[in-house]
A and B are shown apart, each in its own frame.
Chain A
Amino acid sequence: MAFVTASWNPLGEAFYRKVELYEMCWSIRDGLRDSLVAAAPYGGPIALLREPLRRSPSSRPQLEIYSASGAAIASFPWKSGPVVQLGWSISDELLCVQEDGSVLIYDLFGSFKRHFSMGQEVVQSQVLEAKVFHSPYGTGIAIVTGSSRFTLATNIEDLKLRRLPEVPGLQGRPASWVVLTQDRQTKVLLSIGPELYILDNTSCTAVCPPGLSPHAGSIVHMSVSFSYKYLSLFTDSGHLWAGLSNLQDKLLEFDTKTTERPKQMLWCRRPKSQQPSVVLMWDRLLLVVGECNDTIQFPVEDPSVLVGEMDGVRIINSTNQELLQEVPLVCQDIFKIASMAPGALLLEAHREYEKSSQKADEYLREIKEQNVLEEAVRQCVEAAAHEYDPATQKSLMRAASFGKCFLTDFCSDPFVSTCRELRVLNAVRESGVGMPLTHTQFKQMTLQVLIDRLLFRQFYPLAIEICRYLKIPDYQGVSRVLKHWASCKVQQKDLSDEAIARAVCVKVGESPGVSYSHIAAKAYECGRTELAIKLLDFEPRSGEQVPLLLKMKRSHLALSKAVESGDTDLVYMVVTHLKNEMNRGDFFMTLRNQPVALSLYRQFCKLQEQETLKDLYNQDDNHQELANYYVTASYREKKLESSLSLLQNAVDEYNKAKNDFAAKATEEEMRLLRFQRKLDDEKGAGLLGLSLQVTMETLLSLGLHKQAEQLYRDFKVPDKRYWWLKLKSLAEKEEWEELEKFSKSKKSPIGYLAFVEVCMKYNNRNEAKKYICKVTPEQKVKAHLAVGDLESAADAAIEHKSESEIAAVLSRCSASDRLLVDRLNRASGAKK
């Protein structure tokens, strides 16, 4: 504890420290000499290709993949062409850029995934140099070819090659170059001798770093910071220039007094950096140059590789790995010798408290007097997050925990979350996992990405543990892990379909958000159709199953799943698919077994393919519907004969359907149509298509009584309806004599009130009265009322002693009928 500051080196006002991250687990014979090395930022994996340019087929170079702690993950002989550059994508894929411009992509475990080319012309001109870079758009690659041309791809997931314009006067490769991402544009910055050029999509522009002395010499090395905001240049006279990458400002200029080109040069910054620096490494020396022109020198004993991080630089050599970084301000405050910062006092107070010393109280009092206890707790928590050593973390957190006991309104969220995050960080930093993330990096990359990284490395149990510990909703946490696990599981060739399906089902179960169809698709990709089908069975979302099933040509299954989903659009989709895929017979047979699909298809046909509809009904022997179909069709026909023949078809089908009523009704309709056509031809009556009733009506109004009569008899029209028809028709034409004759033709089936009312409708009270005497007693009151004879109505009502009838008469009486009203009221009263 006391020696926290032992590894600190002052640089200007600030301090730099080197923290040992790992003793490397690997044993590499020749160290890192003569190897192409790629180490991914954020504590990512390390790839190593020994003697990459060895071309003899007898001894192929070996490609090795390690975790950041040096644990071997994969190793295989490189059988492809000579590799110019290795790099890692943001999703932990290894990119190998070959001399011929092809880029081969491997996963962490060394299995080949895919490849692409940086352009045809490169095959000829060859790649001289390549760089893999990361930007908000993803992982990109830039190359410079033998013909001195640059080609860029900003995102390898969505490959769009951009060939940059020619650089005037450039022969071979430039002395040095970097990729810059500025203003949402990716550019190349390159140097030719002392000149500096910016190359973008359209042009190549000469630029000049402000304040760089014209005598500084040729620029032989350059580097941009993690954020692309800062740039440093190294000239062949040993001159170091650093400034903003937009070349608006200079930050420092320094003479290293070494003309030798450094092997690596990197920025070492951190968020809220007090003293950013440039780190240069030569064979034997590591030099840190701060903005204040102060320097720190470290000896280099073993060939090393520097890896730039957002908050420092990792130094990897064959035996160990260190993190060089500026000590965060809060840690300086607490640990600086004789610091009186609140956090330092609190840490001291707690230390005394543990010793059961009363000094604890003194320190505490001091903090409280200054009213900075809250600040002290905050400092301890924050500093703990930045410390790499668990013991230091613990003592800081304990101090914070001690301090918060004396606070009343303390918000414990930062404390709790820091505890949790540190626990997770310590777990992934373990050498076995090998992800040396700092807290700052962790916050930047987010928990989601950390879990993804663990998944890429197949640390499933740890990932699940972390998800559960941090109480991440299943959907984003455990389920995602299981999904990844299962996708990986289905690729295990040594297990049977049965065993894998069972294993997946047991583990994944009904975990929310795990898509079985996704897993099944993976299985299908690996050529395991049977397994895919087994897995699909577990998928609750039918909608997801269907496309894959169709792809695997399991059409029947796809159809039943689509039906199961209830999503009719999906059913339609499968049906359309089947229709194109199968012959008609099979297609109909398939539909027959799926009533829901069949009825949907019928609906479709009704709107779109009438003919098919007929075939469908035919095949199902659905005579009723077939008959209905013919009926509908008959209405569309323009010629009566064709209509009739379709109706005849309908009759046949109705008969087959044993629908006697419909068959008979249809036959009658045919008869009616023929009759109408005949009369239309003879008399131009315009009857065709009218209903029987309207036909008779028309005939009567045309005075064709005989024909109407004929229809009445032929079609067995009920007397009642016919009487009504005739009554109204005669009244309408005011043929009152004819009407009276008709009324006497036989006893009226509709009674005589109807006669009264119809006469009144045509305002013929005299005629109406003729029929009153024939009205049945029950309807008498109504009849009298209809002709407006209140007296008689009242008489009849009183005679019937009917309350409701009396009321009905009363409601028609006006003030002038007082006598009548009295009489009615009396009658009504007497009854009570």
Chain B
Amino acid sequence: MAAHLSYGKVNLNILREAARKDLREFLDKCAGSKAIVWDEYLTGPFGLIAQYSLLKEHEVEKMFTLKSGKLPNADVKNIIFFVRPRLELMDIIAKNVQSEDRLHSSRDFHILFVPRRSMLCEQRLKDQGVLGSFINMDEYILDLIPYDGDLLSMEYESAFRECYLENDQTSLYHTAKGLMTLQALYGTIPQIYGKGDCARHVANMMLRMKREFAGIQNQILPVFDTLLLLDRNVDLLTPLATQLTYEGLIDEIYGINNGYVKLPPEKFAQMKQGEASKDPPTEPKKLQLNSAEELYAEIRDKNFNAVGAALSKKAKIISAAFEERHNAKTVGEIKQFVSQLPHMQAARSSLANHTSIAELVKDITTSEAFFDSLTVEQEFMTGVDTDKVNTYIEDCIAQKDPLIKILRLVCMQSVCNNGLKQKVLDYYKREILQTYGYEHILTLHNLEKVGLLKPQTSSRNNYPTIRKTLKLWMEDANEQNPNDISYVYSGYAPLSIRLTQVLARPGWRSIEEVLKMLPGPHFEERQQLPSGLHKKRQQGENRTTLVFFLGGVTYAEISALRFLSQMEDSGMEYIIATTKLINGTTWIKTLMEGISWSPK
């Protein structure tokens, strides 16, 4: 089911299995047939842990979406609510329960809070007079969800907004808890580095929690050597830039959600020959994207310009493999060929899928609009004319291009210029309000609050210093056979990954000056290991670092880390963890204030 989780250096399937075990145990607590009422937000993340078949094995017969009013009829013994601990959801549950009791009194109610119980919510249920109706009230601690062989995500979309805009550190508490769970399964992580206020806060909580559990000494040989905690606001630039890796572009254009992407069906229509004559499919094509698919694992991290070549090479290999059948003479050879057939057919359909996707992506990337916008991005990143109003942005506003595109570019300019001149900033803001509507004044305020937009305060713009010291711009990025992480943005090396890279070698001491320019403290902590658990490293054995992005990470950044893991002389393997996988669009979206005009 999830074999791809166990291929990496760290077997993340252990984590998934632990999560599945907890789920089974809870389901078994509610004896008899069950119906699950889902908080819709949770279905995606749960899909990464357990399919419907597991639920079915434990007598889950029906599933509903949580909504106000009466619960749908279902002839089951138990009704289980799977919900996040949110007050508005409690009110809905209370209504559900109240309207239920009068009709059937025989159904038992249970609540499973994900990822944690909340006294506030229980109090709410009590105030609504339904607390007593619940037989079981439990928490399902699902903090870090194994997303791929080297990737963990909390799928906590609002983390950045909560931390930096609302000063609500709930997500950080869950992060720390999640890291404790991880350490319980994979051993204490001896070294912790971090940069940023949130990173500091998480590290503090971890150390405190460690003291709390001090008695239960973890006797597992540490799998991770280092943990690096990075605040997203240390590197606000990277997510704003358009990702240029295959996976990154799929995400930018179509959006990858909980590991799935929905694509326009036209390109996939001809694949099923039998159905070719029928009407073109109207349902979007849903594909799961992860390293379980061999071809995808191979090309996902490549710069998109190198994908075409990789696909055609693969096509040759596959057709060569099919040609083999002519060479098969003996029964044994034929038998062997036939035994490989399913694998080859899977490879062929995978190739067909990705060729279609690549064509879809290419239609976009070869468009003029894409090129122009990329040019402006690169100008900003290289520091060209960042201090005046950009005509391209002006034109885009005049053309009423999507607001998020405008915001991405303006924010990028602001970040690359360490703030905009008040006049320039006001001009942009006014343009946006006049064109897209006054209500966006709140969104702009939010962007200013998190530092994505700001007026220039000091006259000194330190972005160029940072760019030069960390070599954020590489003129001669090699897209086909990369020798540096900058290939993921065709020239721009993500700041967050440079920090990671420098930490591994030669160490942060070499860039003290730059670190001081970036927001928040940087720090190092050590966690004592019980004697006997100190790793004796074989010569040439790689160290393993867990890089945790607080507030989100992009696919391109992940690709860059994978590239570093694969570099022969890096001596470091990276496992990535994050609150949520983001791109500029999804990220900015979480910061927008959704208000609209009520009809008058």
Chain A positions near chain B (C-beta within 8 angstroms): 473-475, 479, 510-513, 540-542, 565-570, 572-573, 576, 595-596, 599-600, 602-604, 607-608, 624, 628, 631-632, 635-640, 643, 661-662, 665-666, 668-669, 672, 688-694, 715, 717-718, 720-721, 724-725, 750
- Given contacts A608-B87, A691-B437, is CB(A569)–CB(B212) below 8 Å? no
B168: chain A residues within 8 A (beta carbon): 568, 599-600, 603
Which A residues lie within 8 Å of B460 (CB)?
A: none
- On chain B, the residues within 8 Å of A511 by CB distance are 215
Q: How far is the CA of A638 from the CA of B434 in the complex (A)?
A: 23
Which B residues lie within 8 Å of A479 (CB)? 215
Q: Scan B156-170; emit 1 where CB is below 8 A from any A CB, else 0.
A: 000000000011111
A-facing residues in B159-191 (Cβ within 8 Å):
166-170, 172-173, 176
The reply to whether the CB of B395 lies closer than 8 angstroms to some CB of chain A is yes
Complex Cα–Cα for A595 and B197 (A): 15
Give chain A residues whose Cβ lies under 8 Å from the Cβ of B593.
632
Q: Chain A residue with minimal CB distance to B427?
A: A718
Contact B435 A693 (CB under 8 A): yes
Q: Do the beta carbons of B394 and A661 come within 8 Å of each other?
A: no
Residue of A nearest to B445 (CB): A628
A-B residue pairs, 8 tightest by C-beta = A513-B215, A475-B215, A512-B215, A512-B214, A599-B167, A689-B597, A724-B398, A691-B437
- Inter-chain contact B400/A666, CB cutoff 8 Å: no
Distance between Cα atoms of A725 and B431 in the complex (Å):
13
Contact residues in B for A661 (Cβ distance below 8 Å): 426, 429-430
B residues in contact with A512, CB < 8 Å: 213-217
Residues in A neighbouring B430, C-beta threshold 8 A: 661, 665
Grouping DSSP codes into helix (H, G, I), strand (E, B) and loop, the A interface class, with mixed when no group exceeds half, is helix
Chain A residues in 8 Å Cβ range of B114? none
Residues of A within 8 A of B433 (CB): 665, 669, 691-692
Interface of B is mostly: helix
Determine the chain A residues whose CB is within 8 A of the CB of B204 once the complex forms.
566
Q: What separation, in Å, do the CA atoms of A565 and B177 have in the docked complex? A: 12
CA distance A724 to B396 in the complex (A): 10
Q: Is the CB of A691 within 8 A of B435?
A: yes
Contact with A along B588-600 (1 / 0, CB 8 A): 0000010111111
Question: Which residues of the other chain, A, contact B217 by a CB distance below 8 angstroms?
Answer: 473-475, 512
- Shortest C-beta distance, A505 to chain B (Å), equals 15
Residue of A nearest to B400 (CB): A693
Question: Which A residues are CB-close (under 8 A) to B167?
Answer: 595-596, 599-600
A566 x B442 contact (CB < 8 A): no
Interface residues of B (CB under 8 A from A): 85, 87-88, 116-120, 123, 166-170, 172-173, 176, 201, 204-205, 208, 211-217, 394-395, 397-400, 426, 429-431, 433-439, 441-442, 445, 593, 595-600
* Complex alpha-carbon distance, A555 and B66, angstroms: 37
Contact A596 B169 (CB under 8 A): yes
Task: Decide: B216 and A475 in contact? CB cutoff 8 A.
Answer: yes
Query: Which chain A residue lies CB-closest to B432?
Result: A691
User: Across the interface, do B215 and A631 meet the contact criterion of CB distance under 8 Å?
Assistant: no
How far is it, in angstroms, between the C-alpha of A603 and the C-alpha of B430 when the chains are bound? Answer: 29
A569/B116 in contact, CB under 8 A: yes
Closest CB in chain B relative to A663 CB, distance in Å: 11
Q: Contact: A569 with B119, CB < 8 Å?
A: yes
- Is the pair B120, A635 in contact by a Cβ cutoff of 8 Å? no
Q: How far is the CB of B533 from chain A (nearest CB, A)?
A: 15
A573-B120, A661-B426 known; A720-B438 Cβ under 8 A: no
A750 to B435, CA, bound (A): 17
Whole-angstrom CA separation of A567 from B120 in the bound complex: 12
Q: In the complex the two chains form, is A569's CB within 8 Å of B120's CB?
A: yes
A607 and B90 alpha carbons, distance in the complex (Å): 13
Contact of B173 among A541, A567, A689, A725 (CB under 8 A): A567
Given contacts A475-B216, A513-B214, contact A568 B429 (CB under 8 A): no
Given the interface pairs A569-B119, A628-B445, A721-B398, the reply to whether A638 lies near B600 with Cβ below 8 Å is yes
Please state if A690 and B598 are interface contacts (CB–CB under 8 Å). Answer: no
Q: Are A568 and B438 in contact (CB under 8 A)?
A: no
By a CB distance below 8 angstroms, the chain B residues around A473 are: 215-217
User: What are 22 of the A-B contact pairs (CB < 8 Å)?
Assistant: A475-B217, A513-B216, A540-B212, A566-B173, A569-B85, A572-B118, A573-B119, A576-B120, A576-B123, A595-B167, A607-B88, A635-B439, A662-B441, A665-B441, A666-B438, A690-B437, A691-B438, A692-B433, A692-B435, A693-B436, A721-B397, A750-B395
If A473-B217, A568-B170, A721-B398 touch, whether A636 touches B438 (CB-CB below 8 Å) is no
**Residue of B with least CB distance to A677:** B600
Determine whether the beta carbon of A638 is less than 8 Å from that of B598.
yes
Instruction: Tell whether, in the assembled complex, residue A566 and residue B598 are in contact, meaning their CB atoms are under 8 Å apart.
Output: no
**B373 smallest CB distance to A (angstroms):** 17
The minimal Cβ–Cβ distance linking B241 to chain A, given in whole angstroms, is 23
Alpha-carbon gap, A632 to B598, bound state (A): 11
Q: Which chain B residues border A474 with CB–CB below 8 Å?
A: 215, 217
In the complex the two chains form, what is the Cα distance from A479 to B216 in whole Å? 11
CB pair B600 A721 closer than 8 Å? no
Neighbouring B residues of A689 by C-beta, 8 Å: 597, 600
CA distance A567 to B201 in the complex (A): 12
> B429: which A residues are within 8 A, CB to CB?
661, 665
Given A512-B216, A513-B216, A666-B441, 19 further pairs, Cβ under 8 A: A475-B217, A479-B215, A566-B201, A568-B170, A568-B173, A569-B119, A576-B123, A599-B167, A604-B87, A607-B87, A631-B441, A632-B595, A635-B596, A643-B600, A661-B430, A691-B433, A720-B398, A721-B434, A721-B435
Chain B contacts of A694 at CB under 8 A?
A: 437
Q: CB < 8 Å: which of B201, B208, B215, B395 contacts A724? A: B395
B399 near A724 (CB under 8 angstroms)? yes
Specify which chain B residues have a CB less than 8 angstroms from the CB of A643 in the assembled complex: 600
Residues of B within 8 A of A693 (CB): 400, 434-436
Residue of B nearest to A635 (CB): B595
Q: How far is the CA of A479 from the CA of B215 in the complex (A)?
A: 8
Contact B398 A669 (CB under 8 A): no
Chain A residues with Cβ under 8 A from B123's Cβ? 573, 576
CB distance from A81 to the nearest CB of B (A): 40
- Among residues of A, the one whose C-beta sits closest to the C-beta of B201 is A566
Evaluate contact between A510 and B214: CB separation under 8 angstroms. Answer: yes
Report chain A residues within 8 Å CB of B399: 724
Chain B's nearest CB lies how many Å from the CB of A555? Answer: 16
Chain B residue with minimal CB distance to A574?
A: B119
Minimum distance in angstroms from A785 CB to a CB of chain B: 11
- Nearest chain A residue, comparing its CB with the CB of B121: A569
A239 and B117 CA atoms in complex are apart in Å by 65
Most buried by B among A573, A602, A666, A721: A721
